[in-house]
Amino acid sequence: MIRYLLLLALAGAACAEKARFDNYRVHSVLPESEHHLRFLRELEENNDFLFWNDVRAVNASVHIMVPPHKTAQFQEIVDFVGLKSEIYINDVQKLIDAENNNPAARSGIFGWNAYYRLNDIYNWLDSLEAQYPGVVSVVVGGTTYEGREIRGVKVSYKAGNPGVFVEGGIHAREWISPATVTYILNQLLTSQDPAIRDIAENYDWYIFPSFNPDGYEYTHTTNRLWRKTRSRSSSLCYGADPNRNWGFHWMDGGASSSACSETYAGSSAFSEIEARSLSQYISTIADKLSVYLSFHSYSQYLLIPYGFSNAHISNYDTLMDIGKKAINSLSQRYGTKYVVGNIVDVIYVASGGSMDWVRGEYGTPITYTYELRDTGRNGFVLPAEQIIPTGEETLDSVLTILQEARSVI
Ligand code: 0X9
Ligand code: ZN
């Protein structure tokens, strides 16, 4: 019921103005026993608080957003269960206000000192096609519920290259993902570094900054913390989790059948037009793909398939080996530390993801999902000053992956 009222409030706000998060705090809570884990899982299912990350394991902190009017309730809960809790974000709204206050975002000139609206990104993609004729071509990978294009580019300097697919922004609120993906694309076209030129010109790139354009726009106009698509399949809640909706081991753990859940898998596999149309597009180029990279935030993980099981896939050792080299490269520039591993081992069971479908359906050999910066001090609301450093270190690791991939594809 409480959840329902909150949704009504948010839906009302949708027509009028942006949802605000004044004095909302994010607490980092430490489960120290199986009992704590069970308790936190139950709390998450109750949908009373928005969990920014998931309940994983003993000693893995859980980030829980607490509205000011629920502070007392939250305090009672943690005291009662004996959970250690620390405030990571004192005022979510302040962080949101500071995140993107750079006037660059409104200047009309595209760049990496601010987060941009979908149309700014799309106009920039179009401009690349004009600027790099014969190299960049704009492609439409799919359509959204609200009728937007899912626009990307193909970058190809010559025929016959192995293909790399780069997916950003499947979760709407993870703004650093589209920003990092456009950063990488820009470097591929403009960098003079011979190592970057080498991967740019000797792979064919299929790059999609936003796999969830409706959700991304909604995070700009209405609710900064929206995750899902914007489809309407139930009378209660909007959207499904587009990274639980793909048709390989759909609803095989770590996904919800309730429409109001943040991990709602949808009414059936590929019920969401974004996942369905993108899967059809990927099918048309799958035989050309050697590498699939998916970008999320946050937590600083480099993840390998699958999300429904931690059984070792055929080239597990290779992916772990390359992954370790990649996170080592990533750490060189700014000391940013990542953890590499199977999804289930590192985070939690999560079925129906895009990477899993690509791997399961086509056997694409080199597949990784990034969880970009940070580890929770800003979470989804990563200040725009961190876009370029994140882009730089991430590209360092992508370079390593593609250099190493050569000997195995
Ligand atoms: O839960 C997810 O979808 C991802 N984490 S996030 O915090 N960004 O939501 C993890 C994706 C794991 N990938 C697959 N299951 N394929
Ligand atoms: Zn995500």
CATH number, domain containing residue 77: 3.30.70.340
Q: Are residues 331 and 299 in the same domain?
A: yes
Number of folded domains in the chain? 2
Q: Are residues 398 and 251 in the same domain?
A: yes
Q: Are residues 385 and 262 in the same domain?
A: yes
Is residue 102 a part of any domain in this protein?
Answer: no
Domain span at 45: 21-90
Q: Are residues 114 and 34 in the same domain?
A: no
* Amino acid 245: pLDDT: 98
Instruction: Give the residue from 399, 270, 261 showing the smallest Cα distance to 327.
Output: 399
Which residues, including other chains, have CB under 8 Å from residue 152's CB and lie 6 or more apart?
125, 138, 139, 140, 141, 206, 207, 208, 209
**Residue stretches of the chain with pLDDT short of 70:** 1-16
Boundary-marking domain end, from 62, 90, 118? 90
* Amino acid 289: pLDDT: 98
Q: Per residue in 84-110, is it b (16+ CB within 10 Å) or e — as a string?
A: ebeebbebbbebbeebbebebbeeeeb
Which tokens in the block code for residue 279?
A: 């899967």
Please state, in angstroms and rounded to a whole number, the distance separating the CA atoms of residues 174 and 346. 19
Identity of the amino acid at 353: G
Is residue 51 a part of any domain in this protein?
Answer: yes
Task: For residue range 339-354, list pLDDT tens digits in order.
Answer: 999 999 999 999 999 9
Boundary-marking domain end, from 61, 90, 119? 90
Distances (CA, A) of 394 to 15, 113, 121, 389: 38, 16, 20, 8
Q: Which atom number of ligand 1 is nearest to the Cα of residue 354?
A: 16
Q: Please, what sign has the CA dihedral across residues 188, 189, 194, 198?
A: positive
Instruction: State if residue 171 touches ligand 1 by the CB under 6 angstroms criterion.
Output: yes
Residue of 52, 171, 340 to test ligand 1 pocket, by largest number of atoms within 8 Å of CB: 171
Rounded to two decimals, the pTM is 0.96
Instruction: State if residue 369 touches ligand 1 by the CB under 6 angstroms criterion.
Output: yes
Active site residue 76: no
Q: Are residues 72 and 188 in the same domain?
A: no
Q: Are residues 122 and 43 in the same domain?
A: no
Q: How far is the CA of 13 from the centre of ligand 2 (A)?
A: 24
Is residue 281 a part of any domain in this protein?
Answer: yes
Q: Are residues 181 and 237 in the same domain?
A: yes
* Amino acid 104: pLDDT: 75
Helix (H) or strand (E) holding 136: strand 136-143
Q: Are residues 305 and 362 in the same domain?
A: yes
Instruction: State if residue 350 touches ligand 1 by the CB under 6 angstroms criterion.
Output: yes
Q: Are residues 255 and 221 in the same domain?
A: yes
Boundary-marking domain end, from 45, 63, 90? 90
| From 371, 385, 392, 404, the catalytic residue | 371
* Amino acid 98: pLDDT: 95
Is residue 117 a part of any domain in this protein?
Answer: yes
DSSP reduced 3-state for 248: coil
Q: Are residues 84 and 184 in the same domain?
A: no
Please state, in angstroms and rounded to a whole number, the distance separating the CA atoms of residues 228 and 263. 8
The CATH number for 266's domain is 3.40.630.10
Please state, in angstroms and rounded to a whole number, the distance separating the CA atoms of residues 365 and 287. 11
* Amino acid 15: pLDDT: 53
Residue of 55, 225, 345, 369 to test ligand 1 pocket, by largest number of atoms within 8 Å of CB: 369
Longest dimension (CA), the chain: 64
Distances (CA, A) of 403 to 72, 172, 202, 303, 407: 53, 31, 11, 18, 8
Is residue 132 a part of any domain in this protein?
Answer: yes
Q: Are residues 262 and 187 in the same domain?
A: yes
Is residue 1 a part of any domain in this protein?
Answer: no
Q: Are residues 76 and 120 in the same domain?
A: no
Is residue 222 a part of any domain in this protein?
Answer: yes
Is residue 56 a part of any domain in this protein?
Answer: yes
